[in-house]
Chains A and B, each alone.
Chain A
Amino acid sequence: MRVEGRVAATSRRARFRLREEWVTGYLTVFPTAAFFGIFIVFPVAYSLWLSTLNWDGMSPDPVNIGIRNYQRMLDQPLFWKSMAQTGIFIVGLVPVRMALALALAVLLNQKIRGLAFYRTLYFMPVVTSMVAVSIVWIWIFDPTWGVANWILELFHLPTSQWLSDPNTALPSLIVMTIWKTVGFDMTIYLAGLQGIPTSLYEAAAIDGANRWRQFRHITLPLLMPTSFFILVTAIIGAAQVFDQVFVMTQGGPLRSTYVIVYYLYEEGFRFFRMGYAAALAWVVFAVVMVLTLLQWKFLRRDETVA
């Protein structure tokens, strides 16, 4: 009897605890959930609706034109040019940036003196604003007075017109962006490297594996998750490149640096084709999603093979 009573009381208390826990859970999560609802979920849905409109963003009665914005996009040479140039930007930037970052991280991981000092130097461009460094690099890339050509001449290399030449403007932006971002990847690679147990390398050395084979068969495979993380974030970031284009080239010369977000900005906020710009955003969203999922799948398959 007494025992039963105690059990009932505990379970009642437990139920109260449980319900109290639910309430706390919902209350603590609510503010952020509300934020996401208002400022992310709703805008995403709303922009899908916007992408079916022919609207300047001002007039009281926008016309619904269905999928015509998307159709129109396909006929626009500038859309394709922007997409292609964004693709070149990604392909030119991401592999170089990752390879450099990995090489630097491996070198820095050799227990050399001054690690913290070097790491700080390499990280400095990451913390400064893209607008500010863009302005500095305009002046560096100046074909007549800039340091870039001076350095090339120092090594007896041919000089360049950098941002003034349609053929080199986009590569110049890539060079500058590598400089700005390599320190970030390097720092993350360093963290990944420090997570690899040294006993693995010792065992490999006893088995007679040279440094290259150790790198190829221990370092690279064990850094796979790190590389994947960097690859995905780097591609998503590169697909959204805007600040440096806006400040350094305004899409020029001869639209050679039109990238997709710059195109979107011009359409939406200079020509006020809001519906069309929303449709553009959705296409970029879809492409980035597909890319991410493909990489994910690719990595998954790789893991099962290994």
Chain B
Amino acid sequence: MAVVVDRAAHVQHRQAVAGRAVRRALIHAVILFGAVFMVVPFAWMVGASIKYPDEIFTYPPTWIPRSIRYENWVEAWNAVSWARYFFNSAVMAVSITAGHLVLCSLAAYGFARTRFPGRDALFMCFLATLMVPGQVLLIPQFIMMRWFGWVDTYWALILPSIGSAYGTFLLRQFFLTIPYELEDAARIDGCTRLQILYRIIVPLSVPAMTTLAVFSFMGAWNAFIWPLIVTTSEPMFTVQLGLSTFRGAYGNNDWGRMMAATCFITLPVIGAFLVGQRQFIEGITTTGMKG
């Protein structure tokens, strides 16, 4: 009797184990299939960037090039002034990121750590600006840029994006969690408010600041419609504009060089992401949600 029960339990256990293994395998298969779908376009891009033209126009397509033509990269790089575009994009993205870090940390300190009349109403107004979609600002801001004589300058690329309601909100939420005792202690030691902010609050908020920096930089680096509108001369182009124009100029036939150009625009960003991906994804999961 006991043996029978024992065996039944054993069989049941074995079935459960097998069932779990099958389920695991199925889950892996589905996720892997999706992951392949995610990666295929990048693989295709890199592959095509080093193919000879006759191999690009082959069907069925080849994934690993039969012979390598690295000159695509050299020719694509020399075709237009990419170095200049990279420089412009870097100036724009670094300035906007720096602006966000400074302005948002100041405002966040004010909202999180001081009390003054109208504070909460003002904070609501800040948040309300998040509701304004970009296209409403496009035309009036463009006309303002003309008033100031800033069309086709760095000012136009940078200043209209130098503040961020999202960043202020993000940092404020983080600053709220820092214990007041630290601030009081610093004040007794004779620190001014500004010193408290930059010696105590900011160093304790590195995760939030990093998240904000990454988002600001990525947003500015990938921005398209605003640079498209406010730059008129080729030396002011950003990389995204350069790429779009490159495609316009080289059309639909020169896919090897086209893909090479796309590679050197995207691979640095992907590389940076792979290096910092932990920080980056944690940033999204901790901050994206509190909205």
Contact = CB atoms under 8 A, between A and B. Distances in A.
A145 B57 contact: yes
Contacts of B185: none
A264 B247 CA distance: 23
B240 interface: yes
Given A107-B31, A150-B59, A31 B103 contact: yes
Contact of B38 (A22, A125, A139, A188): A125
A131 interface: yes
Contact of A183 (B28, B38, B137): B38
Contact of A145 (B31, B58, B106, B266): B58
Nearest to A57: B143
Nearest to B46: A136
A284 B263 CA distance: 35
Interface in A195-217: none
A246 B244 contact: yes
A7 interface: no
Interface stretch (A36-44, A76-84, A88-96): A36-44
Interface string B221-265: 110110011000000000010011001000010010011001001
A264 B133 contact: no
A21 B116 CA distance: 7
A268 B281 contact: no
B258 A135 contact: yes
Contacts of B280: 123, 127
A191 B286 contact: yes
Contact of B61 (A57, A150, A288): A150
Interface in A23-37: 24-29, 31-33, 35-36
Given A29-B110, A129-B269, A39 B41 contact: no
A110 B24 CA distance: 9
A246 B269 CA distance: 22
Nearest to A43: B140
B266 to A, nearest CB: 5
B4 interface: no
B289 interface: yes
B107 A278 contact: no
Chain B interface residue number, banded:
35 or more
B134 interface: yes
Contacts of A295: none
- How big is chain A's contact interface, by range? 35 or more
B60 interface: yes
Contacts, number: 257
A137 B40 CA distance: 11
A239 B59 contact: no
Contacts of B144: 42-43, 46
Given A129-B266, A136-B41, A107 B30 contact: yes
Contacts of A184: 284
Contacts of A264: 135, 138
Interface in A125-162: 125, 127-133, 135-140, 144-147, 150
A297 B162 CA distance: 33
B36 to A, nearest CB: 9
A264 B131 CA distance: 19
B137 A136 contact: no
Interface string A285-300: 1001100100000000
A136 B45 contact: yes
28 contacts: A22-B117, A25-B119, A29-B119, A29-B122, A31-B163, A32-B106, A32-B126, A35-B162, A36-B165, A39-B141, A40-B129, A40-B132, A43-B136, A46-B143, A47-B136, A47-B140, A119-B281, A125-B41, A127-B280, A129-B221, A129-B240, A132-B243, A136-B262, A147-B61, A187-B281, A261-B225, A285-B136, A292-B131
Interface of B: 24, 27-28, 30-31, 34-35, 37-42, 44-45, 48, 56-61, 103-104, 106-107, 109-111, 114-117, 119, 122, 125-126, 129, 131-144, 159-160, 162-163, 165, 168, 193, 197, 218, 221-222, 224-225, 228-229, 240, 243-244, 247, 252, 255, 258-259, 262, 265-266, 269-270, 273-274, 277-278, 280-281, 284-286, 288-289, 291
Nearest 8 CB-CB pairs, A to B?
A191-B285, A28-B110, A35-B163, A25-B116, A43-B140, A25-B114, A129-B222, A32-B107
